[in-house]
A and B are shown apart, each in its own frame.
Chain A
Amino acid sequence: MKKMYEHTDEWLQSPEQVNPAHAVSANSRIILVDDDEDLRQLIIHKFKHSQLIIDQAGSVQKAKEMLYENHYELILLDLMMEPESGYKLFEFVKNDPKLKWVPLIVLSGSDDIDDKVRCLSMGADDYVTKPFHYKELNARVQRILARSKQFEQMAFCDALTGLYNRRYFYNQLVIEMERNQRYPVPISLALVDIDYFKQINDTYGHPVGDQVLQRLSCVLKQNLRQSDLVARYGGEEFVVLLTNTTEEQAATIMNGVLEKVRKVCFAKAGTEDVRITFSSGIAHLSPDLKVQEWIKRTDSVMYQAKEYGRNRVMTWNELASAIRG
C-alpha cells in the first residue's frame, strides 16, 4: 500500500475558479420585452449602474429572434403589446424546451386579478404592475436571479470540479441540436478520458485523483473558448461541445489542450510530479443523427484513440478514412 501524500496548497484548486454558475453571477443578461420605447428606455437607464446586461425587444417577433440567439437569465415581459400580444410570447416561451426554464417577470399595465392569476398559472415567477417603482422592480429581479442561480448550481453543477454535470450537458446538447436544425452550422462533440486514471488513484490515493480532476477542469476551461461548453461526464471522463466548429477545427483545439496537459504538473506527490495525458474522440453532428447516436459515435472514436495507444486526439472522419484504407 502506497502512502498518501500531503496536498500542497498550490494544488488545492477551489472549485469556484471553474464554477460556471459563479462566473456568470456578476453579469446576468436579461431581456426586456415591451413595445413602449419610453418604458424600455426608463428601465435600461435605471439599471445602467447595476451589474445587469439588459437587451431590449420592442415586439414579440424581435424577442423570439433574440431568445434564440442569446442566452438570457430572466425575461421581463410586457403583456399588452402591438401587434402581437405579450401572451403570444409567453406561450411560446413556456412551450420551448429550453426557454421554459428561464425565469419570467410579467410587467403589466393591468391590475386585473384575472390577468394576474392567468400569468401565475401559466408559469410567471412574478407579476409587476405598471407604473412601478424602480427599486421594487430591481429587488424582484435580483431575488429571482439569485434564486435561480442557486437552483441551477445545485441541479446542474458537479460538486468536485465545479463544471457543469452530465444532466446539464445533456439538456444543452438537445437544445443545441434543435437550434442546429433551424440554423445549421458545423458543430462537434469531444469526449475526453484521462489515461490510466485508475493507476493514479491506486498509486497516490483518491485525494490526489480528485486534485487531478480539478486541475484538468481548470486546464480545460482555460484552454477552450468561451463558447465551448465543457462538462464532467462522469468518473474521469469529460465532454466538450464545440459549436461553429468542424471536426478538424475541434481536433486542432483539443490537440492544443492535450499539448498543454502534457506540460502541466497535475499534483505533487512528495517530490514526484503527477502528470497525465488523455485520449479524446471527436465526432461532428451529421444530419439526422440522434442525440444518443452522436454520443455513441463520439464514444467509439474515443475508444479507438485508446486502442491506438492513448495520449491522442482522433476524429470520426479520420477513423472512417482509416477503415476505408
Chain B
Amino acid sequence: MELSKSNYTVHIDIDLEELIPAYLEKRRKDIQTIEAALGSDDFETIRVIGHSAKGSGAGYGFDLITEVGAQIELAAKAQNQALIRDNLETLADFLDHVVVIFDEEDV
C-alpha cells in the first residue's frame, strides 16, 4: 500500500488530544511485538494485535490503522508472512510520518 503525502495528515477531534501520543506509541510497540512473533511463527499473537488495531484505529481517527489491522488479522489467519511484513511496513511508514491536526469538534 503506497501512501501519498496527503495521507500522512490526519484530522482528529481535539477532545482526544491527550490520548493520541500514547496510542501511537503503542502501535510502534505492536510492530516490535509482531516482528518478534513472526520469528517464532506465532500467528495467533499477530492476529490478536491486528484485530485490536482494526477495532480501535478509526475510532481514534486513524482509518489507516484500522485498514492495516484488518489486513494483518487476515494475513495472520492465512499465515501469510509476506503480507504481514507488507502491512507492517505500511504501518511503520505511517507512524514515522503522520501529522495530526486537532480540530474543534463538529457540533
Binding site for B on A (CB under 8 A): 36, 38-39, 41-42, 45-46, 48-49, 80, 82, 109, 130-134
Q: 7 closest pairs, A vs B, by CB?
A: A131-B58, A130-B55, A38-B56, A109-B55, A36-B52, A39-B56, A131-B59
- Asked if A109 contacts B19 (CB within 8 A), the reply is no
> Contact flags (1/0) for B45-62 with A, using CB distance below 8 Å?
000100110111111100
- 8 A-B contacts, Cβ less than 8 Å apart? A41-B19, A42-B16, A45-B19, A109-B51, A109-B55, A130-B54, A130-B55, A130-B56
Additional 8 contacts, C-beta under 8 A, given A36-B56, A48-B15: A41-B19, A45-B16, A45-B19, A80-B51, A109-B54, A130-B56, A131-B57, A134-B59
Enumerate chain B residues within 8 angstroms of A36, measured Cβ to Cβ. Answer: 52, 55-56
Enumerate chain A residues within 8 angstroms of B57, measured Cβ to Cβ. Answer: 131
Enumerate chain A residues within 8 angstroms of B56, measured Cβ to Cβ. Answer: 36, 38-39, 42, 130-131
Which of B15, B51, B52, B58 contacts A45 (CB under 8 A)? B15
Any A CB within 8 A of the CB of B23: yes
Which of B19, B26, B48 contacts A42 (CB under 8 A)? B19
- Asked if A132 contacts B51 (CB within 8 A), the reply is no
- Asked if A42 contacts B54 (CB within 8 A), the reply is no
Enumerate chain A residues within 8 angstroms of B52, measured Cβ to Cβ. Answer: 36, 38-39
Enumerate chain B residues within 8 angstroms of A133, measured Cβ to Cβ. Answer: 59
* A109-B50 Cα distance, complex, nearest whole Å: 11
* A11-B51 Cα distance, complex, nearest whole Å: 60
* A48-B18 Cα distance, complex, nearest whole Å: 13
Interface size grouping (class) on chain B? 10 to 19
B14 CB, min distance to chain A CBs, angstroms = 12
Enumerate chain B residues within 8 angstroms of A132, measured Cβ to Cβ. Answer: 59
Any A CB within 8 A of the CB of B71: no
Enumerate chain B residues within 8 angstroms of A41, measured Cβ to Cβ. Answer: 19
A306 CB, min distance to chain B CBs, angstroms = 60
Q: Which of A46, A109, A131 has the most CB of B within 10 A?
A: A131
Any A CB within 8 A of the CB of B87: no
Contacts A45-B16, A45-B19, A46-B15; A39 near B55 (Cβ below 8 A): yes
Contacts A38-B26, A42-B60, A82-B48; A131 near B55 (Cβ below 8 A): yes
B44 CB, min distance to chain A CBs, angstroms = 9
* A131-B48 Cα distance, complex, nearest whole Å: 15
B102 CB, min distance to chain A CBs, angstroms = 14
Enumerate chain A residues within 8 angstroms of B15, measured Cβ to Cβ. Answer: 45-46, 48-49
Q: Which of A49, A80, A130 has the most CB of B within 10 A?
A: A130
* A193-B15 Cα distance, complex, nearest whole Å: 54
Q: Which of A38, A42, A80, A130 has the most CB of B within 10 A?
A: A38
* A39-B52 Cα distance, complex, nearest whole Å: 8
Enumerate chain B residues within 8 angstroms of A109, measured Cβ to Cβ. Answer: 51, 54-55
